[in-house]
C-alpha cells in the first residue's frame, strides 16, 4: 500500500517531493485504468461502449452502439438533470438536450474526448451534463451579466463568516449600543480576515473554501487535493485556522464583541 506522503500538520503539502507526489497520484487514481506516456501525461483506456460507438463501421452499428452507450450512462446523466431541475418534465427536457449535445455532429464532443481521454467518461459526463443543464436553465430564465461577480462576492463573504464562526469570533450583542459597536467590529473583523485569507497559499485557500463554502467532507477534499487521508485534511485545516487566528491577533482583532 502507498504510504502517507508529506506531513500536513507541519505545513508541508503531500506534493512536497517529486517521488511522493507521484506515489500520491497513483494512490488516488487506483480505480482508473491508468498508464503514463514518456512525457508524464496520463492516458486512460477508452471504455468499450464508447470505443464501439466511435469505431462503428456502419450507421446501424453506430445506432446500436449509441443505444448501448446511452443505456450504460443514462442513470448518471439523469442524476445530474435531477440535481438542477426539480420538475420531471424539465428533467426530461434537459436529458434530451444532453443526448442531443453528445450526438451532434456525429458525436463530435465524444470524439474529442476520446482522442486523448484523461479522465473517466462518467466524470466527464457529469461535468458536461451539468453544463448543458445550466445553459438550458439560463436560456429559460436568463441570468444578469453581473451575477457571477455578485456570486463571487457572496462566496467570499460567506467564507469570512464561516471562518469567523469556526474561530469563535462572532459573539451576540445584547443592547442597542452593543449592536452598533458589534456591527462596526464585525466589519473590522471581516476586513482583517479578508487580508489574512489573501496571504494564504492558493492550495490552502482552496481547501478552506471547499470545506466551509462548498461543505465538502474531509474525505472528498482529501481525494480532490491528493491528501493521503481525511485526517491529514483535518490536521491541515487546524493548522490554517490557528494561522488565521494568529494573523488576526497581530492585526489587533481578537473578537467581534465590543
Partner 1 sequence: MGHLILLRGARDTAMNATPHLSADDAASFIDGTLSDDARAAIERHLAECDSCREEVAISTRLLATVPASPRRGVPWRLVLPLAAGILVAVMLVRPGGRPTATPTERGGASDGSTIVLIAPAPDAPLVAGRTRLVWRALDDSVLYRVVIKDASGAELWRGETSDTVLAVPPGVHLTPGKQYVMRVDGQRTDGSSVSSTEVSVRASQ
CB of 187 to partner 1, least distance (A): 22
Instruction: Count Cβ neighbours within 10 Å for each residue of 68-105 and write b for 16 or more, e otherwise.
Output: ebbeebeeebbebbeebbeeeebbebbbebbbebbbee
Q: Does 194 bind partner 1 (CB under 8 A)?
A: no
Q: From CA 62, how far away is CA 235, in angstroms rounded?
A: 51
Given the complex with partner 1, which of 42 and 258 has the nearer CB atom?
42
Selection from 135, 60, 140, 65 nearest residue 98 by Cα = 135
Q: In whole angstroms, give the CA distance from residue 41 to residue 127.
A: 21
Q: Is residue 152 part of the contact set for partner 1 (CB under 8 A)?
A: yes
Alpha carbon distance 109, 241 (integer Å) = 43
Shortest reach from residue 9's CB to partner 1, in Å: 20
- Asked whether position 229 contacts partner 1 by CB under 8 A, the answer is no
34 touching partner 1, by CB under 8 A = yes
Give min distance, CB of 27 to partner 1, in A.
9
The least distance separating partner 1 from the CB of residue 202, rounded to whole angstroms, comes to 4
163, 256 contact by CB (below 8 A): no
**Window of 46-54, 138-146, 174-182, 207-215 that interacts with partner 1 by CB under 8 A:** 207-215
Identity of the residue, 155 or 249, whose beta carbon is nearer to partner 1 in the bound complex: 155
Report in angstroms how near the CB of residue 185 gets to partner 1 at its nearest: 27
247 is a site residue for partner 1 (CB under 8 A): no
| Segment 39 to 58, residues that bind partner 1, using CB under 8 A | 40-42, 44
How far does CA 19 lie from the centroid of its chain?
Answer: 26
Size of the site for partner 1 (CB under 8 A): 64
- The count of C-alpha atoms lying within 13 angstroms of the C-alpha of 114, restricted to the half-sphere facing its C-beta, is 16
Q: Tell which one of 7, 23, 93, 178 touches partner 1 (CB under 8 A).
A: 93
Pick the closer one to partner 1 by CB: 204 or 256.
Answer: 204
Stretch that binds partner 1, among 117-125, 168-176, 185-193, 235-243 (CB under 8 A): 117-125
Helix ranges (H only) for the chain are 18-28, 48-54, 59-84, 88-115, 121-141, 147-166, 176-198, 202-208, 218-224, 230-250
User: Does residue 57 sit in helix, strand or coil?
Assistant: coil
Is 177 one of the binding residues for partner 1 (CB under 8 A)?
Answer: no
Buried b or exposed e, range 127-153, using 16+ CB within 10 angstroms = ebbbebbeebeeeeeeeeeeeeeeeee
Instruction: Give the span between the Cα atoms of 133 and 249, in whole angstroms.
Output: 45
80 part of the interface to partner 1, by CB under 8 A: yes
Note the residues at the interface with partner 1 (CB under 8 A): 15, 18, 21-22, 25, 28-29, 32, 34, 40-42, 44, 59, 67, 70-76, 78-80, 83, 89, 92-93, 95-96, 99-100, 113, 118-120, 122-124, 126-128, 130-131, 148, 151-152, 155-156, 202-203, 205-206, 209-210, 213-214, 216, 220, 223-226
Amino acid at each position: 500500500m502507498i504510504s502517507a506522503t508529506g506531513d500536513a500538520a507541519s505545513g508541508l503539502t503531500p506534493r512536497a517531493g517529486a517521488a511522493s507526489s507521484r506515489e500520491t497520484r497513483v494512490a488516488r487514481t487506483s480505480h482508473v485504468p491508468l498508464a503514463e506516456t514518456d512525457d508524464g501525461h496520463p492516458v486512460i483506456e477508452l471504455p468499450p461502449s464508447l470505443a464501439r460507438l466511435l469505431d462503428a463501421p456502419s450507421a446501424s452499428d453506430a445506432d446500436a452502439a449509441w443505444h448501448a452507450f446511452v443505456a450504460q450512462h443514462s442513470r448518471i446523466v439523469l442524476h445530474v438533470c435531477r440535481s438542477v431541475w426539480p420538475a420531471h418534465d424539465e428533467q426530461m427536457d434537459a436529458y434530451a438536450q444532453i443526448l442531443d449535445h453528445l450526438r451532434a455532429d456525429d458525436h463530435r464532443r465524444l470524439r474529442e474526448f476520446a482522442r486523448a481521454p484523461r479522465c473517466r467518461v462518467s466524470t466527464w459526463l457529469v461535468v458536461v451534463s451539468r453544463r448543458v443543464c445550466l445553459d438550458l436553465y439560463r436560456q429559460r430564465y436568463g441570468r444578469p451579466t453581473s451575477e457571477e461577480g455578485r456570486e463571487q462576492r457572496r462566496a467570499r463573504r460567506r467564507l469570512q463568516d464561516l471562518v469567523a464562526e469556526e474561530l469563535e469570533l462572532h459573539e451576540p450583542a445584547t443592547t442597542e449600543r452593543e449592536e452598533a459597536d458589534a456591527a462596526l467590529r464585525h466589519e473590522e473583523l471581516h476586513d482583517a480576515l479578508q487580508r489574512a485569507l489573501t496571504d494564504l497559499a492558493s492550495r490552502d485557500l482552496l481547501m478552506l473554501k471547499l470545506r466551509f463554502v462548498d461543505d465538502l467532507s474531509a474525505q472528498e477534499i482529501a481525494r480532490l487535493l491528493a491528501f493521503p487521508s481525511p485526517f491529514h485534511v483535518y490536521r491541515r485545516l487546524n493548522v490554517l485556522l490557528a494561522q488565521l487566528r494568529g494573523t488576526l491577533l497581530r492585526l489587533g482583532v481578537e473578537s467581534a464583541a465590543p
